[in-house]
């Protein structure tokens, strides 16, 4: 990846520098944070179905493990680059630190296109990759998880390969495994549920009664659809607008999440939901609602439309839905933004729970997972909020400050810096 402004690692480094300025970190600490601690580049052969052998390239980056074993996904993507993996590993470091999980940040990837691979080839690549990085990972060193184009089945193959290399079951080497192989209950809706716990706390802070609140949801994929049903069941909030890639609908009287789900299931779109009217996606973002859930793509709120946002709270379930310009505008307007890496940290928190359960060989029920997730998310929210108040900075910067300071403290205590 070139050194242009779109290089994700350059962006990640800038964020660290900004945060270091707030925290007034010394130069050596800053230097230690700006680079990954360890990187492994591997090349490995895989036998293809047609009898040929192809070489594949993979990476594993452990950005910082001062607080504990590295944690982060494995991506199978044709356009994978080491700089993307580095940046994502850095962001994982801050996310797990923000939740105060005893973990560090990591990420991995294989340059391949799963759309061009049969299931058997995918299995062979998964096993070959894990064989290649096996010395680098382990339940106490680095615990990968599913990410782009990898899934619980792939985690199961990888865990199996790793276990057979060690000659013993090592369920804890991967998270995101199928339930039948040591996966944790409560993973399916963890991201949305964790986000709504932070919403609940935010509402308390700003005096918003969620049982009377109106909610607009931008994006109706996995996170968005769970957010709709949980907002109803947890708070009794009223969903007044939803959208997906095909368009947006609104209904001031409220839309039932079940109705929306049925419509989506039968027509592949939320459009024409019973009792709703079509509006534009832009109109949805600018609706006079209490809560705006952003659950689709990055860059939705920008310097151009942020001024017109009327919501009191913004719930960032997607990654990067608000640009830095929009962040500043919203902060000045007094819109309360729950930043993405706090808001959507429910997934990694349940991954951590999976590690704990694997290690103890004792598995919790879903209710227990929800309760523990609630505690973690609630505590993290308040820590970020307090930091924001203390330094008079927006919630995103505050979240970085909380996370980075925790990593720095661990590094210092260990005597690294």
Partner 1 sequence: MVKTHPVASGIPALDNVLGSLRLGDNVVWQVDRLENYHLVARPFVKQALGEARKVVYLRFATHQRILPPCPGLLTIELDPRPGFDPFSSQVNKVIEGQGSGVFYVFDSLSHLVGEWATDELLANFFQVTCPFLHELDTVAYFALKRGHHSHSAVARIRDTSQVVIDLYHVYSKLYIHPIKVWDRYSSQMFLPHLYSEGKLTPLFQSGDASSILISASKSPLKVKADSIAPWDSVYRKLAQYAPEELEKLSDSVEIQALRQELTQMLIGAHAQLRDLAERYLSIKDLLAIRNRLIGSGRIGGKAAGMLIARRILLEEDGKFDFSKVLEEHDSFFVGSDVFFTFLVNNDLFRLRLRLTRNSRISHEEFHEVEDRFLAGRFPDEIMEQFRDLLDYFGQAPIIIRSSSLLEDSFGNAFAGKYRSEFCANQGSPEERMEVLLRAAKLIYASAVNPDALAYRRQRGLGESDEQMAILIQRVSGTLYRHYFFPPMAGVAFSYNLYRWTDRIDPGQGMIRLVMGLGTRAVNRLGRDYPRLIAASHPGLRPEMGAKVAFYSQQQMDLLDLAKNEFRSLPVMEVACNNDYPGIRFFLSELKDGYLRDMEGEDPADLKNPVLTFNRLISQTDFVEIIKELLSKLQNAYGYTVDTEFTAFVGEKGEIRINLVQCRPLRLPGMTASTAIPESIPSERILFRAKRAIPGGVIRNIRYILYIDPISYAKNATIDEKRMMGRAVGTINRHTEVAQHRIMMMGPGRWGSSNINLGVNVTYSDINNTSVLVELAREENGHMPDVSYGTHFFLDLVESNIIYLPVHPDESETDFNHDFFTKSPNHLDLLLPDAEGLKNFIKLIDVPFVTGGATAQVIAEARNGSAICYLGFKSDPWEIKDGSEAINHSTVQDILKFRYVR
Helices marked H in 171-287 = 190-206, 222-230, 257-267, 281-285
Member of 105, 152, 186, 194 binding partner 1 (CB under 8 A): 152
Member of 246, 252, 310, 382 binding partner 1 (CB under 8 A): 246
Instruction: Spell out where 320-373 has E strands.
Output: 336-338
Q: Among residues 71, 107, 264, 397, which one is catalytic?
A: 107
72/176 Cα distance (integer angstroms)? 11
Is residue 370 within 8 A of residue 226, CB to CB? The reply is no
Q: Pattern of binders to partner 1 over 109-148, x per CB under 8 A?
A: ----xxxxxxxxx------------------------x--
Query: How is 216-234 classified by DSSP, letter by letter?
Result: EEE--SHHHHHHHHHIIII
Closest CB to partner 1 among 123 and 290? 123
107 catalytic per annotation? yes
361/90 Cα distance (integer angstroms)? 30
Stretch that binds partner 1, among 8-16, 28-36, 161-169, 264-272 (CB under 8 A): 264-272
Stretch that binds partner 1, among 254-262, 274-282, 387-395, 407-415 (CB under 8 A): 274-282
Q: Pattern of binders to partner 1 over 193-222, x per CB under 8 A?
A: ----------------------------xx
Site for partner 1 contains 272 (CB under 8 A): yes
Site for partner 1 contains 271 (CB under 8 A): yes
Smallest CA-to-CA distance from 314 within 401, 222, 230, 394 is with: 394
Q: How many residues bind partner 1 (CB under 8 A)?
A: 41
Q: 323 CB contacts (<8 Å, ≥6 apart)?
A: 299, 301, 302, 303
Stretch that binds partner 1, among 15-23, 87-95, 150-158, 286-294 (CB under 8 A): 150-158
Q: Pattern of binders to partner 1 over 290-329, x per CB under 8 A?
A: ------xx--------------------------------
5/7 Cα distance (integer angstroms)? 6
Q: What are phi and psi of 304, to 5 degrees?
A: -80, -35
In DSSP terms, 294 is beta-bridged to: 218, 316
Closest CB to partner 1 among 124 and 312? 124
153/38 Cα distance (integer angstroms)? 27
Active site members: 107
Residues that bind partner 1 (CB under 8 A): 49-50, 113-121, 146, 149, 151-154, 178-179, 183, 187-188, 221-222, 244-248, 266-269, 271-272, 278-281, 296-297
């Amino acid at each position: 990846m070139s050194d242009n402004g779109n290089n994700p690692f350059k962006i990640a480094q800038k964020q660290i520098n900004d945060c270091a300025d707030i925290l007034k970190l010394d130069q050596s600490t800053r230097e230690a944070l700006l680079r990954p601690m360890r990187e492994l580049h591997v090349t490995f052969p895989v036998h293809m179905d047609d009898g040929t052998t192809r070489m594949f390239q993979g990476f594993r980056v452990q950005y910082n493990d001062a607080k504990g074993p590295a944690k982060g996904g494995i991506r199978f993507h044709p356009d994978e680059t080491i700089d993307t993996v580095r940046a994502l590993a850095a962001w994982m470091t801050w996310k797990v630190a923000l939740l105060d999980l005893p973990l560090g940040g990591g990420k991995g990837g294989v340059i391949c296109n799963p759309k061009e691979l049969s299931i058997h080839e995918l299995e062979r690549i998964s096993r070959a990759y894990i064989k290649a990085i096996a010395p680098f990972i382990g339940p106490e060193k680095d615990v990968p998880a599913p990410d782009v184009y990898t899934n619980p089945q792939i985690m199961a193959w990888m865990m199996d390969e790793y276990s057979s290399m060690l000659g013993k079951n090592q369920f804890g080497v991967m998270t995101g495994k199928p339930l039948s192989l040591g996966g944790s209950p409560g993973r399916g809706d963890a991201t949305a549920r964790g986000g709504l716990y932070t919403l609940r706390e935010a509402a308390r802070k700003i005096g918003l009664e969620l049982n009377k609140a109106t909610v607009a949801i931008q994006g109706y994929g996995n996170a968005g659809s769970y957010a709709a049903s949980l907002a109803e069941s947890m708070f009794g909030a009223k969903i007044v607008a939803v959208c997906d890639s095909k368009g947006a609908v609104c209904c001031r009287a409220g839309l039932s999440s079940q109705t929306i789900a049925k419509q989506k299931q039968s027509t592949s779109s939320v459009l024409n939901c019973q009792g709703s009217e079509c509006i534009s996606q832009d109109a949805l973002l600018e609706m006079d609602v209490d809560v705006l859930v952003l659950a689709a793509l990055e860059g939705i709120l920008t310097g151009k439309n942020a001024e017109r946002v009327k919501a009191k709270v913004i719930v960032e379930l997607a990654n990067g839905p608000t640009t830095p310009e929009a962040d500043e505008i919203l902060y000045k307007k007094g819109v309360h933004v729950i930043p993405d890496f706090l808001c959507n940290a429910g997934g990694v928190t349940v991954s951590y729970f999976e590690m704990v359960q694997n290690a103890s060989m004792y598995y919790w029920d879903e209710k227990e997972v929800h309760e523990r997730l609630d505690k973690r998310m609630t505590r993290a929210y308040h820590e970020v909020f307090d930091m924001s108040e203390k330094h008079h900075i927006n919630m995103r910067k505050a979240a970085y400050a909380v996370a980075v300071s925790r990593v720095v403290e661990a590094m210092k205590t260990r005597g690294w810096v």
